[in-house]
């Protein structure tokens, strides 16, 4: 739904993403390690920034989402030990999206993927990386998935910050 009419759905969708992420983090831990696919940080500095740059969000809606981010990033459950960046090209991301054929993703444009790629690169590795909440570990995910999996197992101790699981 978001991709079919981003101007209409972007603010409520991004707010729902933030609430969902916070709810997941508020759940009691079952292990000393918690891996999450995305964070409120990537939501703010990549996805919300993308809709702001595209003019798909009002200044008021942006301010509300930014204030929610600023408030929530200081919560104890928000402490991150590590950011694992699965770096790839927009072209490879587009191909993987096409292959998995997930409903609702068929209208994602190459322009949007390029914009998200650029925002992630700038946030995690570029000029904005001074605002990172944790160190960044980069995996080159442009390789075939078998190679990515092998690289992960070779660097598993880094991913888990030395904690045995």
Measured distance CA(150)–CA(165) in Å, rounded? 18
Short-list 156, 153, 126, 152, CA closest to 140: 152
Q: Is 44 annotated as a binding residue?
A: no
99 is an annotated ligand-binding site residue = yes
100 is in an annotated binding site: yes
| CA-CA-CA-CA torsion sign (59, 134, 125, 129) | positive
Confirm whether 121 is a catalytic residue.
Answer: no
Q: Contacts by 9-14 with C-beta closer than 8 Å and gap 24+?
A: 10/51, 10/56, 10/57, 11/57, 11/58, 11/61, 11/64, 11/65, 14/43, 14/47, 14/48, 14/51, 14/65
Residue from 37, 70, 91, 143 carrying the catalytic annotation: 37
73 labelled ligand-binding:
no
Residues labelled as active-site residues:
37
Task: Name the binding residues for ATP.
Answer: 96-100
């Amino acid at each position: 739904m978001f991709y079919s009419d981003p101007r209409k759905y972007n603010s409520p969708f991004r707010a729902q993403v933030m609430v969902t992420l916070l709810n997941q983090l508020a759940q009691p831990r079952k292990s000393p390690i918690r891996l999450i696919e995305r964070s409120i940080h990537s939501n703010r500095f990549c996805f919300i920034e993308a809709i702001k740059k595209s003019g798909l969000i009002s200044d008021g809606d942006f301010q509300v989402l930014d204030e929610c981010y600023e408030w929530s990033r200081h919560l104890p459950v928000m402490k991150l030990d590590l950011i694992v960046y699965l770096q790839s090209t927009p072209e490879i991301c587009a191909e993987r999206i096409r292959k998995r054929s997930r409903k609702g993703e068929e209208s994602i444009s190459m322009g949007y993927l390029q914009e998200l790629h650029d925002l992630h690169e700038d946030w995690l590795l570029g000029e904005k990386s001074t605002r990172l909440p944790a160190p960044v570990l980069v995996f080159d995910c442009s390789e075939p998935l078998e190679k990515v999996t092998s690289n992960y197992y070779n660097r598993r101790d880094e991913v888990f910050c030395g904690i045995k699981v």
